[in-house]
Amino acid sequence: MCGIVGYTGKDQAAPILLDGLQKLEYRGYDSAGLAVRDGKALAEVVKATGKLYHLADKTDQGRALKGNCGIGHTRWATHGDPSTVNAHPHVSGNCTGSGSGKVESDVAGVHNGIIENFAELKEKLLRHGYAFYSDTDTEVVVKLVDYYYKKYKIGPVDAITRTMVRVRGSYALALMFKDYPDEIFAARKDSPLIIGTAEDASFLASDVPAILKYTRSVYYIDNLQVARVSPGQVKFYDLNGDEVTLNQTEITWDAAAAEKGGFEHFMLKEIHEQPAAVRDTLNSLVKNGKIDLAETGLTDDMIRSLTQIDIVACGSAWHVGMAAQYVIEELAQLPVRVELASEFRYRNLPLSESTLVIVISQSGETADSLAALRVARERGAKTLAVVNVIGSTIAREADHVLYTLAGPEIAVATTKAYSAQLIAMDLLAVQMAFVRGTVSADAYAHDLEELSLIPEKIRRILEDKERLQWFASKIANAHDIFFIGRGLDYAISLEGSLKMKEISYIHSEAYAAGELKHGTISLIENNTLVIGVLTQSRLYEKTVSNMMECKSRGAYLMGLTTNGNFSVEDSVNFTVYIPKTDEHFVASLAVVPLQLLGYYTSVSRGLDVDKPRNLAKSVTVE
Ligand code: M6R
């Protein structure tokens, strides 16, 4: 989704803004722009479609734009096509052509989110003599701020709060006013925005990596708050315009964590960071040989009172929920529903205080997951957020938070955050089982021992990548790939299939193996690749039979199984082995070769692995 940066300080703003935008590229975008003010004139605006280097070329890497205060934006189109004129920043005055050049407007702004009632607001502004040059909802909101600013002759903070009361939807806004040199004004509702301060400079950004190079002291501006940002200082206001105090947070991430560190792509680097991400998450929850949930605030009594678990998430995080469902049900013997957040939020599921709704989210900002969390709270359920980004909205709004310690994840295709979520959910399942008395002390100790060995086993899988690299080059021209499995193997297939399709653009589906005969098998032709996940001994033979049915119809087969199941080699064309572990926890291992397969297939096809088309890292609009 869109990325916002802002800078005000002693240095030239544009190169800093470009650098910040580059760190936000992972979020996905189709155009970009800068507005930098120099002295009294509000701003010079420069925009470009396509990759960020076009904007950098247009501005001589930012050097051509004079001025020490500015805002920048990468746009992921929602209202209006990805053109220069629709790119941000937008201005309150008129604009011709591409919207670039010196502007004489009173207000300029960038926006991440969606203004749902923009059409109605636009009508109102048209009636008051405003003209529009773009198709965006952002131009409407910038002009609405300008309208209140002039009509009531009030300061920027009041003009912004009046606007916030009128708009519906989600937004992170950064605005500059002609009459306020050196200052940037920001507002936020349901879209992420942080503000960092250093000695003589301040920074705004949609995410931490954009400012990490300059400061580690950040504020997480709250929903429905306004910030007034000047060099080295920031003040916050509520909707009434009254000043409020926010605590500053120190970011502990290593700046190198947001760099590629010698790997060709962030995705490959993050795949290799999985042993550490899993180990760190595990160590944060296991103390003195026991699982300790004290930091989440979940008590044993709360766990004992539960009658139902609902896991709500999107995409890969939903796949973690699918895997966790089998583990919680089997170990803790609690009924589990796994719901897509975008569906859950509009359903009328009965919830009670004995239901625990677990929202899983790497970013902690996914719009549907956030909305689902709010619905769950309104209906009286207890809520637990399993989140990677500290201070994110979902983390702040949930009753309980369990932080995964994967560090910053930049590649759009999640890998290490998925693995960290998975181990966190496995630990939760084991603890729930122990507290509820559904596993013995010996079984508990065995489970913990097995989980503690997972990081080293992932490391071993990563040592043996060459066969997968070779196989990926062989399948790089496939038209369709089917992933099949039963039980936990079905959950693993879902993630394997998503990893493949999102970065290789090869059509791929995951099916519960038993479902093939109910329709999908008619799609199998000569050489269609079918990947069977075969880690569950109880279901192994059944899935192998389903693979054989595909083979009889011409399919080319790959089997993914645990060391020791050598019989599969006789039946399939290509076999991948993973180390043995307790079958409940096998997803943590089985997913790794599938991530590598997706990665190498994308590389073989010469695609943009880290920034696949049309996708955004953090989906902050519905
Ligand atoms: O930040 P979240 O975990 O809430 O994001 C949810 C999905 O958008 C995300 O898992 C997505 O499916 C992955 N990037 C796919 O690799």
What is the SS3 string spanning 2-32? CEEEEEECCCCHHHHHHHHHHHCHHHCCCEE
Instruction: Ligand 1 pocket test: pick from 265, 312, 366, 508 the residue with the most ligand atoms within 8 Å of its Cβ.
Output: 366
Average pLDDT over residues 206-216: 90
State how far the Cα of 18 lies from the Cα of 54, in Å rounded to an integer.
Answer: 11
Residue 103 has pLDDT above 80, yes or no: no
User: Per residue in 273-294, pLDDT tens?
Assistant: 999 999 999 999 999 999 999 9
Paired with 33 in beta bridges are 47, 73
* 294-320 pLDDT tens trace: 999 999 999 999 999 999 999 999 999
Q: Residue 441: its pLDDT value, please? A: 96
What was the pLDDT predicted at 79? 78
Considering the chain, what percentage of its residues have pLDDT values greater than 70?
98
| pLDDT for the residue 42 | 65
Q: Tell me, what's the pLDDT at 256? A: 65
Question: What's the pLDDT score for residue 90?
Answer: 94
User: What pLDDT score was predicted for residue 204?
Assistant: 97
* Ligand 1 midpoint to CA 495 (Å): 11
State if residue 369 touches ligand 1 by the CB under 6 angstroms criterion. yes
- Per-residue pLDDT, averaged over 181-189, amounts to 95
Q: Which of 2, 95, 314, 550 is catalytic?
A: 2
Q: Do residues 49 and 26 touch, judged by C-beta distance below 8 A?
A: no
Provide the pLDDT for residue 41: 66
Per-residue pLDDT at 519: 87
* Out of 8-17, 337-346, 418-427, 560-569, least confident range: 560-569
Q: What is the side-by-side order of every strand in the sheet holding 101-103? A: 101-103, 41-49, 31-38, 69-75, 3-8, 202-205, 194-197, 217-220, 249-250
Q: State whether the beta carbon of 361 lies less than 6 angstroms from ligand 1.
A: yes
CA–CA distance, 222 with 226 (Å, rounded to integer): 8
Nearest-angstrom CA–CA distance, 368 and 345? 7
Q: 190 and 230 in contact (C-beta within 8 Å)? A: no
Determine whether 2 is an active site residue: yes
What's the confidence (pLDDT) of residue 18?
96
Range with lowest mean pLDDT among 40-49, 60-69, 190-199, 368-377: 40-49
Known catalytic membership, residue 617: yes
Residue nearest ligand 1's atom 8 by CA: 315
Selected residue with higher pLDDT from 335 and 466 = 335
How far apart are the CA of 406 and the centre of ligand 1, in A? Answer: 14
Measured in Å, residue 510 CA sits from the centre of ligand 1 at 17
Tens-digit pLDDT profile for residues 408-427: 899 999 999 999 999 999 99
Which tens digit of pLDDT belongs to each residue from 220-273?
Answer: 998 899 999 999 999 999 999 999 999 998 887 766 666 777 788 999 999 999
225 lines ligand 1 (CB under 6 A): no
Indicate the average pLDDT of the chain: 93
Q: Give pTM, 2 decimals.
A: 0.77
Q: Considering 178, 382, 457, 617, which one is annotated as catalytic? A: 617
What is the pLDDT, as a whole number, of residue 97? Answer: 55
Range with the lowest mean pLDDT among 95-99, 414-418, 489-493? 95-99
Give the bridge partners for 109, in sequence order.
90, 175
How far away, in angstroms, is 617 Cα from ligand 1 center?
7
Q: Do 13 and 7 meet the contact criterion of CB atoms below 8 Å apart?
A: yes
pLDDT above 90 as % of the chain? 79
Tens of pLDDT along 330-381? 999 999 999 999 999 999 888 999 999 999 999 999 999 999 999 999 999 9
